[in-house]
Structure 1
Amino acid sequence: MTAPAPGADGPSARPRTAQHYSVAPLPPSPEGYVAPGMPGAPMAGYEPAEPAEPAPGTTPRRRTALAVALALLAMLLGGLAYGSAPLRAADSLGWLAIAPAGLVALPLGRLGGQGRLLPPLGALLAVGALFLGQLLEHLRRVHTDGPGPDGLLHDAATAWRADLRPLDAAFYAIALIGGFLLTRRAANRS
């Protein structure tokens, strides 16, 4: 038995069933619209509508100088935090090389936008934060042991060079790649 056509005997009490199409139905189009390239489309004098100008204040303003200044400050703060960790935790601290990279990348990406030079700058500043942190750690060690005749900074740099291990190269690579990628990701999300 088949259902009667709608409206033949009045409204049906049964729920409407899904209609099956062999081809998807066309989306509704505005009245009088003819797609370009179809018969009836205007050939001469056809100019597409200009995109609407965004309202003032809705487009994000890029503040590159402020972004670089804040990234430098983040590099100093990241290096200070990295180097101020307790001396007994210094061996396990290397894996936190991504933290200064994130601190540097946030202002560069968010405020600076998608500038071409900002991701490499973020990578260099992240490596700089890691270097400052390690140098500060060695400054603290030399200061507690007592500086030599060459001075505190020279002794700390010599101790840093003597303490470099192959694993430190991995930490610097983590900071370098993390700074680059996190800056790009932060710029794409703003």
Structure 2
Amino acid sequence: MTVPAPGTDGPSPRPRTAQHYSVAPPPAAPEGYVAPGMPGAPVAGFEPAEPAPGPTPRRRTALAVALALLAMLLGGLAYGSAPLRAADSLGWLAIAPAALVALPLGRLGGRARALPPLGALLAAGALLLGQLIEHLRRLRAEAPTPHGLLHDTLTSWRADLRPLDAAFYAIALIGGFLLTRRTATRS
């Protein structure tokens, strides 16, 4: 704080000197002011700065993964059980098993970092399972052979792979990852 020099009739050309206090002067408070927390302070109308946080939602990660595995099996079964005449146009429905897998992972699992990659892998697994079921149905329709059925199915699947199938797997992987992230509930 500075105080003007005593006895001057106007502003002085000298620089103002600081006046030091050994004890700080009391702050100017309005009449009748009572500091918060002191006896006599008003309590009515008090609003906290932030509301108290509510209960955090429970993460059911194990249940989410179990339901996502079930959704993968059901999505693969539905994908592979489509009519054989629609098999060529069916590949673009690769997003459906991804959505089916992502819904329980995101809604029940929360925002865990491991769930979107798991959703991507399970969506691709549903697509693979659906393609294998489709080839198994095709082999069973052509010639019923009980022995070596799995080997014949895998051989038929490998022989029937096209470059467009890579796009379908990419759709399933990206769709599974992004849909799991988008459906995740905040925790």
1:181 matched to which residue of 2? Answer: 178
Q: Which runs of 5+ in 1 are unaligned?
A: 1-31, 33-48
Cα drift, residue 54 of structure 1: 3.5
- Distance change >3 Å, CA 140–CA 149, structure 1 → 2: closer
Within 2, Cα distance between the matches of 1:148 and 1:123?
34
Cα drift, residue 101 of structure 1: 0.2
- Distance change >3 Å, CA 158–CA 150, structure 1 → 2: farther
Q: Structure 2 length normalisation: TM-score?
A: 0.70
- Distance change >3 Å, CA 148–CA 180, structure 1 → 2: same
2:53 matched to which residue of 1? Answer: 54
Task: Map residues 99-118 of structure 1 onto 2, 5 A cutoff.
Answer: 99-118=96-115
- Distance change >3 Å, CA 188–CA 61, structure 1 → 2: closer
Deviations 1:60-92 (A, max 9, x none): 111000000000000000000000000000000
Within 2, Cα distance between the matches of 1:80 and 1:173?
20
Once superposed, what is the RMSD of the aligned Cα atoms? 2.1
Cα drift, residue 147 of structure 1: 4.6
Task: Map residues 153-164 of structure 1 onto 2, 5 A cutoff.
Answer: 153-164=150-161
Segments of 4+ moved more than 4 angstroms:
49-53, 147-150
One-letter code aligned to 1:63:
R
2:23 matched to which residue of 1? Answer: none
Residue 148 of structure 2 corresponds to residue 151 of structure 1: yes
Within 2, Cα distance between the matches of 1:54 and 1:69?
30
Number of residue pairs matched by the alignment: 141
Larger radius of gyration: 2
Within 2, Cα distance between the matches of 1:104 and 1:149?
32
Q: Which runs of 5+ in 2 are unaligned?
A: 1-32, 34-47
